[in-house]
Amino acid sequence: MRAKSLAWADAAHRAEGALLNGNVNGALRALDETARNSRRSDDEVRALYSRLMRVGRDSTDAPAGAVARLHEHMQQAAGVGPSPATVHLEVAAEVRRGRLEGALALLAAVASGGLVAPSTGSFDLIVHAAAARRNRLLAWHAYRALRRAKLTPSAHTLNALMKAETRARRPQAALRLFARADAVPARGWVGSPPDGWSLVGAMAAAAAADEPESVSLFFERLLRSSSDEAEDGGNGGGGVEGGDG
Distance CA 136, CA 160 (A): 10
pLDDT tens for 169-201 read: 999 999 999 999 999 999 999 999 999 999 999
Q: What is the pLDDT averaged over residues 80-104?
A: 95
- Residue of 81 and 245 predicted with greater confidence: 81
For residue 228, pLDDT beyond 90: no
Residue 190 near residue 183, CB atoms below 8 Å: no
Torsion sign (Cα): 164, 168, 169, 173: negative
- Residue of 63 and 119 predicted with greater confidence: 119
Q: What is the pLDDT of residue 11?
A: 76
Residue 230 burial class via C-beta count within 10 angstroms: exposed 0-12, middle 13-18, buried 19 and up: exposed
Model confidence at 237, in pLDDT bands (50, 70, 90)? very low
Q: What is the pLDDT of residue 1?
A: 52
Distance CA 237, CA 75 (A): 38
Model confidence at 236, in pLDDT bands (50, 70, 90)? very low
Distance CA 114, CA 80 (A): 15
Q: What is the pLDDT of residue 7?
A: 65
Rounded to a whole number of angstroms, the distance between the first and last alpha carbons of the chain is: 33
For residue 82, pLDDT beyond 70: yes
For residue 36, pLDDT beyond 60: yes
Torsion sign (Cα): 100, 106, 110, 112: positive
Q: Find how far residue 178's CA is from the centre of its chain.
A: 22
DSSP 8-state code for residue 45? H
Residue 155 near residue 238, CB atoms below 8 Å: yes
CB-based contacts of 48: which residues, under 8 Å, 6+ apart? 12, 31, 34, 40
pLDDT tens for 126-139 read: 999 999 999 999 99
Angle at 82 between CA 78 and CA 83, to 5 degrees: 135
CB-based contacts of 145: which residues, under 8 Å, 6+ apart? 104, 107, 108, 111, 123
Residue 217 near residue 226, CB atoms below 8 Å: no
Average pLDDT, the chain: 89
Phi, psi of 73 (to 5 degrees): -65, -40
Model confidence at 105, in pLDDT bands (50, 70, 90)? very high
Distance CA 27, CA 37 (A): 15
